[in-house]
């Protein structure tokens, strides 16, 4: 049944239901009585021809029959057909250019050839030639459109030169859809960071980025696969956006979506793995150097039955279609959720460093997205602050504009409150707290230190805290850590031989009176 020719009226119904009404093969089968295998055969032929429905619907039954059935009633002269077939390899390459159609190629061919085939004959012979040269390939990839990525099932090994320990390395493969230029790299794992690094290295090998990247539902790329709306890994989605690409996960149970990269995996076994067999490599860079050598040979080797290579195709028609790469490489970002403290800062606990946000967000839960160089702070998907990442612990990064929204009347934390609480313990503690605050560019930066210092009065005793403040003033240190060290080492219990120096008067040091 699959090889039996059907009536042209049913063929028109099949194409119309597919193209105009987007029905599936099961529905079309029930409507027409034609087997799903036969329906799929004609749909595949149509997609290969890439003829618009408006044009296809105008063909006569004979033209439609000749177009979709490869056995013509009147065979063409062999020499004429041979000349046409000689043009198809170059036409195949041009079909991958954006906007190119088979109709445009036919018009160009018929204009330059007096004894040219008519349009339907041209389409028929191209389809026939395509079926012979690529019997299992039915997807036409446009230049600069997609990059397919995956990991091989087999692994390569490196051997530690000193211990002799063998480590299995994952192997990453990327391939451009149109030119089939391929990139291969060994890497330690398939985790998110390694996977993104491999994808990025592939883009730099190609010298540009395609419009889309197609991962095979790898966990590093797709958090949750779905037929309709897969959930992407946040970092991978951000990586794709950084390079101007969209992510198109390969559909489950759709082998054609990933046939190209699976073919690249098989070729890498034949042309790379086999050439590395029996060789020992003591480091990952050494292994990748050997891989690159065989990869270059593969990309420069001519296709079977062709006079051009993957590199030739890439240089000729795909290289110029890729998007230029940004000057900065992508940086992985992590995120944490924290609450804005009363001093208008949030703590990135990874570094124990504090960053300011506008005071209107005090007490609210926000998200911190951080890379190795930047810290972005969001509240309900709105970016409210950006800072350069600083890894020095127990210090503050404060933007003056954030502190400009500070209002003593609306917040419980303010310099006067801490000084008054300190004076209740002893005036020396009050003066020390005033100095702690005055040493900061913004008073808000000192609030947590003040809280910590005053808490020692309850946790240890007010008497020891008074002595510790006096000792710290003698040393000239005005911060929480100084008081903590003095109390931990019992320095506050030693006699102070020297006379305590008076609290200095200076225009840059705000004393107790400043905050009244």
Are 102 and 50 in contact by the 8 Å Cβ rule? The answer is yes
- Nearest-angstrom CA–CA distance, 3 and 19: 22
- 225 pLDDT above the threshold of 90: no
- 508 pLDDT above the threshold of 60: no
**Distances in whole angstroms, Cα of residue 257 to Cα of each of 139, 149, 352, 456:** 9, 11, 46, 65
Of the candidates 215, 64, 44, the residue with the CA atom closest to the CA atom of residue 134:
44
Instruction: Please indicate whether residue 150 or residue 306 has the higher confidence score (pLDDT).
Output: 150
Dump pLDDT digits (tens) for 67-81.
Answer: 776 554 444 456 778
Say what the pLDDT of residue 80 is: 78
- Residues 5, 32, single domain; the answer is yes
Q: What is the mean pLDDT of residues 285-292?
A: 94
Tell whether 482 is covered by a domain.
Answer: yes
What's the structural domain count of the chain? Answer: 4
- 330 pLDDT above the threshold of 80: yes
Say what the pLDDT of residue 85 is: 80
Place of tokens 């993957």: 310
Q: What is the mean pLDDT of residues 26-43?
A: 80
The pTM is what? 0.52
Among 26-35, 285-294, 494-503, name the one with the lowest average pLDDT. 494-503
- 170 pLDDT above the threshold of 70: yes
Of the candidates 393, 394, 392, 398, the residue with the CA atom closest to the CA atom of residue 377:
398
- Residues 283, 187, single domain; the answer is yes
Of the ranges 107-121, 249-263, 307-321, the best mean pLDDT one: 307-321
- Residues 312, 392, single domain; the answer is no
- Residues 169, 312, single domain; the answer is yes
Instruction: Please indicate whether residue 374 or residue 511 has the higher confidence score (pLDDT).
Output: 374
Q: In the 8-state DSSP scheme, what is residue 370?
A: E
- Residues 437, 368, single domain; the answer is no
Binned at pLDDT 50, 70 and 90, residue 25 comes out as confident
Among 65-69, 150-154, 344-348, 471-475, name the one with the lowest average pLDDT. 65-69
- Residues 127, 217, single domain; the answer is no
- Residues 68, 179, single domain; the answer is no
Tell whether 490 is covered by a domain.
Answer: yes
- 229 pLDDT above the threshold of 70: no
Tell whether 104 is covered by a domain.
Answer: yes
Binned at pLDDT 50, 70 and 90, residue 136 comes out as very low
- Residues 361, 482, single domain; the answer is no
- Residues 308, 348, single domain; the answer is no
Say what the pLDDT of residue 135 is: 45
Tell whether 410 is covered by a domain.
Answer: no
Of the candidates 208, 174, 206, the residue with the CA atom closest to the CA atom of residue 322:
208
Give the list of residues 6+ apart from residue 267 with CB closer than 8 angstroms, or none. Answer: 182, 298
What range defines the domain where residue 236 resides?
146-321
Choose one of 140, 169, 195: the last residue of a domain: 140
Binned at pLDDT 50, 70 and 90, residue 475 comes out as confident
- Nearest-angstrom CA–CA distance, 17 and 170: 45
- 514 pLDDT above the threshold of 90: no
Tell whether 506 is covered by a domain.
Answer: yes
Binned at pLDDT 50, 70 and 90, residue 228 comes out as low
Choose one of 261, 293, 321: the last residue of a domain: 321
Say what the pLDDT of residue 506 is: 42
- 257 pLDDT above the threshold of 60: no
Q: What is the mean pLDDT of residues 399-418?
A: 66
- Residues 173, 280, single domain; the answer is yes
Q: What is the mean pLDDT of residues 189-213?
A: 92
- Residues 87, 220, single domain; the answer is no
Binned at pLDDT 50, 70 and 90, residue 417 comes out as confident
SS3 call for 77? coil
Q: What is the mean pLDDT of residues 283-291?
A: 94
Tell whether 328 is covered by a domain.
Answer: no
Q: What is the mean pLDDT of residues 330-338?
A: 87
Q: Which two tokens stand for residue 297?
A: 């040979």
Of the candidates 261, 263, 248, the residue with the CA atom closest to the CA atom of residue 217:
248
Q: Give percent of the chain above pLDDT 90.
A: 25
- Nearest-angstrom CA–CA distance, 516 and 498: 32
Q: Give percent of the chain above pLDDT 70.
A: 82
**Distances in whole angstroms, Cα of residue 143 to Cα of each of 73, 80, 93, 100, 246:** 37, 31, 9, 10, 16
Say what the pLDDT of residue 37 is: 83
Q: What is the mean pLDDT of residues 316-320?
A: 89
Tell whether 178 is covered by a domain.
Answer: yes
- 265 pLDDT above the threshold of 60: yes
- Residues 179, 285, single domain; the answer is yes
Tell whether 218 is covered by a domain.
Answer: yes
Q: What is the mean pLDDT of residues 42-69?
A: 74
Choose one of 140, 157, 182: the last residue of a domain: 140
- 209 pLDDT above the threshold of 90: yes
**Distances in whole angstroms, Cα of residue 392 to Cα of each of 69, 348, 350, 483:** 74, 11, 11, 20
């Amino acid at each position: 049944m699959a090889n039996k020719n059907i009536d042209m009226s049913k063929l028109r119904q099949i194409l119309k239901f597919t193209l105009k009404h987007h029905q599936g093969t099961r529905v079309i089968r029930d409507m027409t009585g034609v087997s799903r295998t036969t329906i799929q055969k004609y749909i595949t032929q149509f997609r290969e021809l890439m003829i618009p429905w408006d044009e296809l619907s105008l063909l006569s039954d004979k033209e439609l029959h000749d177009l979709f059935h490869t056995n013509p009633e009147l065979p063409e002269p062999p020499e004429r057909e041979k000349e046409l077939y000689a043009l198809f390899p170059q036409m195949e390459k041009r079909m991958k250019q954006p906007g190119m159609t088979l109709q445009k190629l036919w018009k160009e061919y018929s204009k330059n050839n007096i004894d040219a085939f008519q349009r339907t004959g041209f389409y028929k012979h191209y389809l026939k030639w395509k079926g012979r040269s690529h019997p299992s390939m039915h997807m036409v990839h446009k230049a600069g459109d997609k990059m397919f990525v995956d990991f091989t099932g087999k692994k390569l090994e490196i051997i530690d030169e000193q211990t002799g320990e063998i480590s299995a390395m994952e192997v990453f493969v990327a391939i451009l859809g149109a030119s089939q230029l391929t990139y291969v790299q060994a890497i330690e794992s398939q985790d998110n960071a390694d996977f993104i690094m491999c994808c990025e290295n592939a883009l730099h090998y190609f010298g540009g980025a395609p419009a889309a990247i197609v991962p095979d539902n790898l966990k590093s790329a797709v958090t949750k696969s779905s037929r309709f709306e897969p959930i992407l890994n946040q970092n991978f989605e951000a990586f794709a956006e950084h390079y101007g690409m969209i992510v198109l996960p390969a559909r489950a149970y759709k082998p054609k979506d990933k046939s190209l990269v699976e073919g690249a995996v098989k070729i890498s076994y034949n042309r790379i793995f086999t050439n590395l067999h029996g060789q020992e490599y003591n480091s990952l860079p050494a292994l990748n150097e050997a891989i690159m050598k065989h990869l270059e040979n593969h990309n420069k080797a001519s296709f079977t039955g062709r006079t051009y290579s993957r590199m030739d195709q890439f240089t000729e028609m795909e290289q110029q279609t890729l998007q230029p790469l940004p000057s900065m490489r992508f940086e992985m970002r992590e995120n944490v959720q924290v609450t804005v403290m009363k001093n208008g800062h949030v703590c990135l606990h990874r570094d124990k460093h504090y960053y300011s946000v506008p005071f209107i967000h005090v007490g609210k839960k926000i998200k911190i997205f951080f890379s190795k160089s930047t810290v972005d702070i969001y509240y309900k998907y709105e970016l409210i602050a950006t800072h350069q990442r600083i890894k020095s612990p127990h210090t503050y990064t404060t933007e003056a504009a954030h502190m400009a929204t500070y209002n003593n009347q609306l917040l419980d934390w303010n310099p006067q409150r801490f000084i008054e609480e300190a004076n209740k313990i002893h005036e020396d503690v009050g003066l020390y707290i005033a100095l702690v605050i005055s040493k900061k560019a913004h008073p808000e930066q000192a609030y947590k230190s003040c809280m910590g210092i005053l808490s020692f009065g309850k946790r240890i005793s007010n008497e020891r805290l008074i002595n510790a403040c006096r000792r710290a003033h003698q040393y000239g240190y005005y911060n929480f850590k100084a008081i903590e060290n003095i109390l931990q080492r019992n320095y506050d219990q030693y006699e102070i031989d020297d006379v305590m120096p008076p609290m200095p008067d200076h225009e840059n040091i705000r004393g107790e009176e400043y905050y009244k």
